[in-house]
Every structure is written in C-alpha cells, then in structure tokens.
Amino acid sequence: MFFLSQHPCIEVQDDSISVSLNVHPNSQRSKIVITDYSVEIYIKEPPAKGKANQALIKFLSRKLEISTSSIKLVFGEKSKKKVVSISGLTQQQILERMNERSG
C-alpha cells in the first residue's frame, strides 16, 4: 500500500486537489500505476474525439468512488500529460484509493 502523505504529482488547492497524470490511451486494459515521481493512467479508449478524456474521467470516478462531476480536466485536453482537479477527497484519500484499486 502507498502510504505517502504527499506525492510530487498531487497538489492541494483551495477547495480541490490537482493531480498531474501521464495518460496512455489505446492500452490493453485500464489501470493506474503510481511511482515515486509519477501517476500513470492506462486507458483502453483511443485519443480520438475526446474519447480517452471521457474514459479517463469515468475511470477515475470509479476508482476513487466519487461522481464524475467531482473530477475536471484542467490541462492537457490534447496531450498525454494532463492535470485533473478532484474535489471531495483529501490528498491521502486519493493516493490510498488509487493504489488500492490500481489493478
């Protein structure tokens, strides 16, 4: 289990948490891989017409057990490097839930 209270890709904002992600579309299966320096998200869907972005939000929603409206894509709409804003959870909850359910 991942027990760090801080991670370089996660930043506390006023009323939300920003998470920097590296997204890999067209993967064999959707999963999360957390390393000491990155959060890698593998998504099955292709990057065409925003499908990977929509799948990313839905995938994170399921993994974090929050509504899709609690997750906003704030940077990287057409890039593999993205930043999402997550409301309703603490930094520690995000790390724990991503790690527990990463497989």
Contact partners, residue 28, CB within 8 Å, separation at least 6:
42, 44
One pLDDT digit (tens) per residue for the chain, 103 residues: 344 457 889 998 888 999 999 999 999 999 999 988 899 999 999 988 889 999 999 999 999 999 999 999 999 999 999 999 999 999 889 988 988 655 5
Is the Cβ–Cβ distance between 85 and 74 less than 8 Å?
A: yes
Element (H, E) at 61: helix 51-64
pLDDT of residue 5: 59
CB atoms within 10 A of CB 43: 22
Instruction: For each of the domains in the chain, give its residue range(s) and CATH number, in order of start.
Output: 10-100 (3.30.1200.10)
Distance CA 41, CA 102 (A): 9
Radius of gyration of the chain (CA): 12
Query: Which tokens sit at 3?
Result: 């027990």
Is the Cβ–Cβ distance between 80 and 15 less than 8 Å?
A: no
Distance CA 97, CA 94 (A): 5
Q: How many residues does the chain have?
A: 103
